[in-house]
Amino acid sequence: MRKRGLLLFALLLLLIVPLTAFAQAQADPADGGEISVGDSIDGELTTDEPAIAYTIEGEAGQSLTILLTAEAFDCYLTLLDEEDNEIAFNDDGAGNLDSLINVTLPTDGTYTIVAQSYSYRNGSSSPGTGDFTLSVDEVQVNQIEYSQTVEGRLTSSELQVRYVFTGTEGDVIIAEHYSEDYDSYLTLEFNGSEIAYNDDGAGNLDSRIGPFTLPSTGSYTLVVTSLSRADTGSYEVRLDRVEVQSIEIGEETTVEFTPSDSVLFFMVEAQLGDIISIEVDSEIDTSLSISDPSNYTVISDEDSGSGFNPEIIDFSLSQAGTYTVALRSVNGEAGEATITISRAELPSLNDGPQTISFSSSVFNRTLVFDAEAGTTYRLTLDVVRGDSASPSIDITQAGNSLGYTSTSRVERLSIDITPSDDGEVVLRFSEYSYTNISIEVTLEEVGE
């Protein structure tokens, strides 16, 4: 009986220990006193005080940068309002496991900053300990509104610029960052946390976030910087609230451009491997682009179709999700345009050699073939019209890269590939000689 009682006691201890550790992780932080804007405070996290809270007085619209750095542990920062609601948090925003919160305060009042380790935040029984430095600085922010374009310059003393705007839950926005001097980078923050970012979504090393649906009503911040975080130069930022139409593959719709709506957006749900063609018919000059579910522009066109209308033919989608089609009035003209999205079937090399043609307005073509895992295939390209070609070939299977090659001024080119899986292989050809060129592509098995 005593042995059984000891066993029950031991089991109870096993149950109690995790609950105790969890309760400890949720304990109130130690009181670190007050901190003011412009202050930098050194402190120490210990096993007895694994989190320390500091109070700060703030004003509505005040923009703060809160930085927590430490060498001994992975930092974690939280910011609470007067009702102890968590309004911002960050883990590694400053890099090197340090934490950074950029926030625009919503109201006047007393806020609480909690310095802790990442492990303590996540309920670990072994919270991070050691010395840390906490600093708070006020930062200058600029205002931007819907339908506004602003110009500025990144300098060695100001390598990022912040723009604040007020958004309403459900607003669909487009934010763009253009520069001819550097590779642009754009971030969208809400309550001090990054909720969207983009590098080259607008093409030509320019950035675009959106169409993006705002999750809540409140103050949002666009952070303008360079991809390297070190380059300088002039830039332009534009913010728009847009209407997005849903369009299905196989559907045709007519839309109207107005002086205030020179860019129209369409959302298309697609599956991995879908092959689509998009055609536009309009009396005004338009351009067309497709962005993938990660907001990256994967293909664009302006004059490839009949009557110098844009068209994208036989384009294979490399992932499932929501794609964004952007149709622009190039010169801001008003007028109507009819856009048609259809499902296409790509020419297959399993049916024999295929001839693909390029011109001053046609730069991309796509072929496919069904492959067997472990079999080596040889692709051979022969120029049958024109003196030479400068093709690039992107080879994928189920969205995964099998290879890429690019060459200049060749009359003949052979490539061997060995897929590791069964299934369709997609060959995307690009040729930017801006001349009339035709290439015959053949496929042969050369062994296993």
DSSP 3-state assignment of 350? helix
Strand order, beta sheet including 109-117: 30-34, 51-58, 109-117, 75-80, 86-90
pLDDT band at 26 (very low <50, low <70, confident <90, very high): low
CATH number of the domain located at residue range(s) 142-241 in this protein:
2.60.120.380
pLDDT at 150: 97
- Of 128, 164, 129, 159, the C-alpha closest to 146 is 164
Identical fold, 27-133 and 142-241: yes
pLDDT band at 11 (very low <50, low <70, confident <90, very high): very low
Backbone angles phi, psi at 190, to 5 degrees: -140, 125
pLDDT band at 4 (very low <50, low <70, confident <90, very high): very low
pLDDT at 433: 84
- Give yes or no for residue 24 having a pLDDT over 50: no
- Of 221, 322, 320, the C-alpha closest to 266 is 322
pLDDT at 413: 94
Residues in the chain: 448
pLDDT at 61: 80
Q: What is the pLDDT of residues 90-107, one digit of tens each?
A: 888 787 899 988 888 888
Residue 276 or residue 306, greater confidence: 276
pLDDT at 163: 94
pLDDT at 12: 38
Residue at 310: amino acid letter: P
CATH topology of domain 27-133: Jelly Rolls (2.60.120)
Query: Across residues 193-210, what is the average pLDDT?
Result: 85
- Give yes or no for residue 7 having a pLDDT over 70: no
Residue 235 or residue 28, greater confidence: 235
Between CA 224 and CA 188 the distance in angstroms is 9
Count of CB atoms situated within 10 Å of the CB of 334: 13
Query: Across residues 421-441, what is the average pLDDT?
Result: 91
- Give yes or no for residue 447 having a pLDDT over 80: no
pLDDT at 200: 82
- Give yes or no for residue 20 having a pLDDT over 70: no
Q: Give the DSSP H or E segment for 355.
A: strand 354-358
Average pLDDT, the chain: 88
pLDDT band at 257 (very low <50, low <70, confident <90, very high): very high
pLDDT band at 295 (very low <50, low <70, confident <90, very high): confident
pLDDT band at 13 (very low <50, low <70, confident <90, very high): very low
What is the sign, positive or negative, of the torsion defined by CA atoms of 261, 264, 265, 268?
positive
* 64 touches 57 (CB < 8 A): no
Q: What is the pLDDT of residues 396-407, one digit of tens each?
A: 998 889 999 999
pLDDT at 424: 92
Residue spans of the domains in the chain: they are 27-133, 142-241, 244-343, 349-447
Between CA 172 and CA 212 the distance in angstroms is 5
Q: Which two tokens stand for residue 122?
A: 């996540």
Q: What is the pLDDT of residues 327-373, one digit of tens each?
A: 999 888 999 999 999 988 889 999 999 999 988 777 888 899 999 99
**Domain 244-343, classified CATH 3.30.70.270, yes or no:** no
**Domain 349-447, classified CATH 2.60.120.380, yes or no:** yes
- Give yes or no for residue 185 having a pLDDT over 90: yes
pLDDT at 403: 92
pLDDT band at 2 (very low <50, low <70, confident <90, very high): very low
- Of 186, 175, 189, the C-alpha closest to 144 is 175
Q: What is the pLDDT of residues 365-395, one digit of tens each?
A: 889 999 999 999 999 999 999 999 999 999 9
DSSP 96: T
pLDDT at 349: 96
